[in-house]
Amino acid sequence: MTWVYNITNSNAPTDAGEIIAVATVMTALALLIVILRIYVRWGILNVFGIDDGLVIFSWFMSFGFTVVTSIQTRYGLGLQNINDLPTANIQGFNKLQFAGAPFYILGILGFKLSLLFAYMRFMPQGPYRHATYVVIVLTTLFHLSFLITQINLCNPIQAQWDSSIPNYVCLQAVPVYTTMASLTIFFDIIVMALPFPVLLDLKMQDRKKIVILGLFGLGIFITIIQIIRIQTVRRLTNLTDSAPLITWSSVEANLGIIVASIPCLSPLIKYFRERPPDFHQPLRC
């Protein structure tokens, strides 16, 4: 039994296994970190904030993206040769492509908002706090605009998976995706850089400050992934070319959840280091 539906060449080379493995491992790792975060926040600190709810929402979006991606491999995602993609699978492939995009967009929005609301715990009253509110609004508006654009890429919408519809009109996907990815990088940089001036001014041990700044610095890797995604977008020429784009999207969404949650685990780390936990640090998540 072959993995891809309706395929005639049972030996057709495919990266389906690697795609599923990356998405599953990253989603499972993100789930582990989220569970530890909730254990610390709810079980140890007896608190639960909007940032915690947002990171849980983000994980469920990532999980949905992983499910859609895995199903899509059965319709041909991962095939290395477009000629091996069965014609009977094209409509199903495109439907899943359409269904997966909202999970990705809402997933990356969720972890960014989680970070921004977590910043509010240590942002003092004044311009930096006001700037955080502005970034929250702009980030939300941008990603919702991204979502609306993605859903309405074709008129009528059904033309995104059914090319038999007469007189349909579609935007050119590659320029749209490239523009959106570039703007996403812009917001990534703003979200990651926003707390640095405040953190540098906080009265805490230099070692803790370095660790905290280092953790936020991990977010730069998310920006690097976005740059890689832009390159994969520019190479899109047919349906099977989307495999690297989808794989990197899964890595980005789950890594964002991990980066947003790691700072919350400091009480747990202190516990395993056999030191009395201090739950009143300035950057307590």
Residues 6+ apart with CB under 8 A from 70: 20, 23, 24
Return the closest-CA partner of residue 72 out of 263, 271, 247.
247
Residue 279, pLDDT above cutoff 60: no
For residue 21, how many other CB atoms are within 10 A of its CB?
Answer: 12
Give me the pLDDT at residue 278, please. Answer: 52
- pTM for the structure as a whole: 0.91
Asked if 78 and 1 touch (Cβ cutoff 8 Å), the reply is no
% residues pLDDT > 90 (the chain): 65
Domains, the chain, with CATH or none? 16-161+168-272 (1.20.1070.10)
Distance CA 232, CA 222 (A): 15
Least trusted range by pLDDT, from 9-23, 95-109, 227-241? 227-241
pLDDT at residue 214, rounded to an integer: 63
- Please write the tens of the pLDDT for every residue from 57-100: 999 999 999 999 999 999 999 999 999 999 999 999 999 999 99
Q: pLDDT, tens digit, for every residue of 203-257?
A: 665 655 665 666 666 777 788 888 888 888 877 888 888 999 999 999 999 999 9
Q: CA-CA distances (angstroms) from residue 221 to 214, 224, 226?
A: 12, 5, 9
pLDDT at 282: 42
pLDDT at site 216? 65
Please tell me the chain's helix, strand, coil percentages from 3-state DSSP, rounded to the nearest 5: 75, 0, 25
